[in-house]
């Protein structure tokens, strides 16, 4: 089976960046645990990758808007005798209505999927990674984390949280062989914009140079976490955009946060 002996758990694995992470890691010889709501798609992808790359692919159908989902997922991997060595926190969503008009259940779902579940899955898997002396965590942030806040949307603030927490975790866990990277893509061809109902508007208003394919995002993101880079902004255009929007360079901010932290034990 796996040529690496390691297993990656990927949320939002049924399409887009999540599915591409599954393909990339399976091709490298990693076993997979694929998590999403759409069972049919997960099973089809798992079958395809298991046959093509001779790796083990398990499927866990879960809705991360459910607060019990992260623990249920890890209980399932434990019952299968699987150690999670690689965590790809990819699942995401975003509202497309104003804050005042959105039902609070919809806002709470965004927070649950992209903040609470991301944090809890890391918290549940990190102890094992530390004990084994190896771990890789990729948390999907966004280029939006470097931008000024967008009116009415929680998305920018949520992705800023993911960016900051990923760096904080990397500082803490690096001595134990665990690397954490915030992957911050810009506009990416995936189903995300279909779900938001913004694909036509986005593609018509934005030049093609601003768009990336999931393959390029995943390739650069995985290379970054393997190299121990706590922040990855894939693509030259995105790097320039982030640098122009953020007055303090990312590496300097990381250094200051690591060395001047008044809450260190």
- Can you list the domains of the chain with their CATH numbers? 7-259 (3.40.50.720)
- Please report the pLDDT score of residue 129 as a whole number: 98
Largest CA distance in the chain: 51
DSSP assignment of 222-261: HHHHHHT-SEE--SHHHHHHHHHH-SS-HHHHHHHHHHS-
Rounded to 10 degrees, what is the CA torsion of 65, 67, 70, 76?
Answer: -100
Question: What does residue 216 show for φ and ψ, rounded to 5 degrees?
Answer: -65, -40
- Please report the pLDDT score of residue 200 as a whole number: 52
- Please report the pLDDT score of residue 4 as a whole number: 76
Q: What residues are labeled active site?
A: 155, 159
How far is it, in rounded angstroms, from Cα 117 to Cα 223? Answer: 24
- Please report the pLDDT score of residue 249 as a whole number: 81
Cα 173 from chain centre: 18
Q: Give pLDDT < 70 ranges for the chain.
A: 1-2, 152, 189-211, 261-265
pLDDT tens for residues 19-60? 999 999 999 999 999 999 999 999 999 999 999 999 999 999
């Amino acid at each position: 089976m796996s040529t690496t002996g390691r297993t990656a758990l990927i949320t939002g694995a049924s399409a887009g960046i999540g599915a591409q992470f599954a393909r990339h890691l399976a091709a490298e010889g990693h076993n997979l645990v694929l998590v999403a709501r759409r069972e049919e798609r997960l099973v089809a992808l798992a079958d395809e990758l298991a046959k093509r790359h001779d790796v083990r692919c398990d499927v866990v159908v879960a809705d991360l808007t459910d607060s019990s989902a992260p623990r249920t997922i890890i209980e399932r991997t434990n019952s299968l005798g699987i150690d999670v060595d690689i965590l790809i926190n990819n699942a995401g969503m975003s509202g497309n209505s104003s804050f005042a008009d959105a039902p609070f259940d919809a806002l709470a779902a965004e927070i649950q999927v992209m903040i609470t579940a991301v944090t809890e899955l890391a918290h549940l898997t990190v102890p094992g990674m530390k004990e084994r002396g190896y771990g890789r965590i990729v948390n999907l942030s966004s280029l939006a984390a470097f931008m000024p806040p967008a009116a009415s949307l929680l998305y920018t603030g949520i992705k800023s949280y993911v960016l900051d927490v990923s760096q904080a975790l990397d500082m803490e866990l690096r001595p134990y062989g665990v690397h954490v990277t915030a992957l911050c893509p810009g506009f990416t061809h995936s189903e995300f914009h279909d779900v938001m109902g913004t694909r036509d508007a986005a593609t018509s208003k934005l030049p093609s140079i601003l768009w990336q394919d999931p393959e390029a995002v995943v390739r650069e993101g995985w290379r970054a976490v393997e190299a121990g880079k706590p922040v990855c902004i894939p693509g030259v255009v995105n790097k320039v955009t982030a640098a122009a929007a953020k007055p303090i360079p990312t590496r300097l901010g990381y250094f200051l946060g690591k060395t001047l932290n008044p809450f260190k034990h």
